[in-house]
Structure formats: structure tokens, C-alpha cells
Amino acid sequence: MNRFALPLGLFALLAVVLAIGIKHSPDKGTIASPLIGKAAPEFSLPSLTDASRIVKSSDLRGRWYVFNVWGTWCGGCRLEHNVLLQMRHADVVPIIGLDWRDNDAEALSLLSQLGNPYELIAVDHDGREAIDWGVYGAPETFLVNDQGVVVYKYIGPLTQEAWEREFLPRLPAKQAEKS
Amino acid sequence: MMRGCLIALLVSLVLCATAAYAVDPTQMPTPALQARYLSLTHELRCMQCQNEAIADSPVDLAADLRRQVRDMLLAGRTDDDVRNFMVARYGEFILFRPRMSMRNLWLWLTPGLLLGVGALVAVRIVQQRSRLVPQDNEPLEEDIRS
């Protein structure tokens, strides 16, 4: 009996470690953002749609918003475009866009073709703002609460299912009811 | 034949060398800054390609991060300032050499712990064996009688 206790114990320990590994394997490849639970980066950037306007994070304080990083060069962004349009249509939470490393004229022409899901679009030509948000590949979508704190980050093209499963339940109840 | 191989090897080595330099032509104003710049860009992971350092990666994000490192060093920030800046935005994963923290403490301590257990077992075995030796040397009763 005693002879088997140690090997059996070690085996059980190894099984637990491997089980934890297998359980977490679906999020392999996506990296949890250290921004979650922290204040969203402050920004003050030119607006894509209105040259005279500056998009400021301080103007967004007091409201929940979705912060979506995209670019015309980004194929995944094209995939999620319809989902974003539906979100705008449902009018649950405003979507703020960050046009990342892009050409303004191309971005505007794409939006006029496909429709504009964004309430405001900030322009990040040189990629400095994206670094502050820890962006490593578009599309990436953040949910920011009315205190200006990052609540959630989604990596990759948004789907209707992800919107319903990850975003809606995190929104305040009376806002989510609208959808 | 042998010579042909050598020449081919030399040519491919030269090609590799130029390819490595083509990614990042940045020159810092002093050799000391250049050395720090190179060491930092080699220890930061390119998050898009994940197994490459930002020093070696041709993607735009790596170029942006190299520019960030360069700007911070030129502004007189320390190496740790740069590391902390990156970790605050991208997480510990951006460092190729993870730092010790409460979360990974057990990973750092386990090898030492195992070594300790092994040493303890070894000491006990040696002690048991050495206790056996004097007993073995005592003459058997039959030997004494004869």
C-alpha cells in the first residue's frame, strides 16, 4: 500500500496540472490585457469625419462605450463590420473607433461604401495610441465603463454571439435591456 | 566540390547578415545608448509574431515599438522604465525573460525545493549505508571460535 502512495500521489498531481492546462487551451494565443480593471488611456486625437474636431477621452467620461481598433488594411475588420453596424442600430452603447495606421481618404471611402457604425472615430496615424491600449493586431475591441475603466477586451473579429455572450451581460442592466 | 560548398556557405552567410540588418537600421547617437537599445529590442517580444523579438521583426507594430524604445532612451529613461512601460500595456508576456512575481514564484522555487528533497534523500541513504558498514566488519561468531 505504502509503496504505491507516492507514485500515485505524483500521478494525481500531474493529472491536475495537465487538466488545468487543457481547460485553458481555448484561450491559447490570445493574451489577457493588463489594462482590464485599470483606467483606459487618456487620448486627444483628430477626428476622421470632422477635421475641425478633436476626439477626447475626457469627453466620453460618464458614459459606457465600446472602443474598436480597426483599419482599412485589416481583413478581420471587414468581417466584423456588419456586427458593428447592427450594434449601432441596436443603440445600446456608442462605438468609438480608432483608425489605426491608416489612410484617411481610404478609411472615409470605405465607411461611405459599407456604412459607418461609429459615433466618433479617432485617427492614430503613427500607432502611438494603439501602443497605449496594448493593441497587437486589429481588430481589437474594448468595453469601457462610465468611470473610464476598461472592463473587457475582445481580440479578433467580433461576432453577434460574442457581443451577446461577452458584452451585453457586462453592461448595466437598464442599458442592456434596450437591445 | 568542397570549394563550391564553402563558397555557397559564405554567400548564404553574407545574405543572412544583410537580411538581419535590413529590419532595423536605427543608429543611436552614442555607443552606450546603441548597446542598451539593441539589448532592449532583443528582449521584447513582437506580440504579432510572438516568437520573434521586436529587433528582428519586419511588421509595423514591431517598428512602432522600436521607435517607442528609442524615444524613451533618448529622453533619458532607464531600461526598467522601458520594460515597465511595455509590461503595463502588453503584459508580462512581452518580456522574453519573465520577471519574478507572486504569480510565478512557485516556478522559481520548485527547482530549489526539489533539489533540497533530493539532497535530503541522498543524505539519509548515505547515513543508513554507513551504519551498515561497521556491522559487516564484525567477525562472525564462528570465526571467533575457531
Angle (CA) A159 A164 A170, round 5°:
120
Whether B22 has a pLDDT exceeding 70, the answer reads no
**Cα(B56)–Cα(B21) distance, rounded to whole angstroms?**
9
What is the CATH architecture assignment of B1-99? Orthogonal Bundle (1.10)
Are the beta carbons of B89 and A126 separated by less than 8 Å? Answer: no
**Cα(A91)–Cα(A81) distance, rounded to whole angstroms?**
15
> Percent of chain A beyond pLDDT 70?
95
User: Mind telling me how many Å the CA of A53 is from chain B's nearest CA?
Assistant: 26
Per-residue confidence band for A174, with pLDDT thresholds at 50, 70 and 90: confident
Contacts of A155 (CB under 8 A, 6+ apart): A30, A31, A137, A140
The CATH topology of domain A33-176 is: Glutaredoxin (3.40.30)
Q: For the residues A39-55, what does the mean pLDDT come to? A: 94
pLDDT at A179: 57
Tell me: the pLDDT tens digits for A71-117?
999 999 999 999 999 999 999 999 999 999 999 999 999 999 999 99
Query: Is B93 in the A-facing interface, judged by CB distances under 8 Å?
Result: yes
pLDDT at B2: 59
**Cα(B55)–Cα(B37) distance, rounded to whole angstroms?**
9
**Up-side HSE of residue B82: CA atoms within 13 Å toward CB?**
25
User: Mind telling me how many Å the CA of B110 is from chain A's nearest CA?
Assistant: 14
B49: chain A residues, CB-CB within 8 Å: none
pLDDT at A130: 97
**Cα(B24)–Cα(B41) distance, rounded to whole angstroms?**
10
Are the beta carbons of B48 and A137 separated by less than 8 Å? Answer: yes
Reduce the DSSP state of residue B56 to 3 states and report it: coil
| Of the partner residues A33, A126, A131, the one whose CB lies closest to the CB of residue B91 | A33
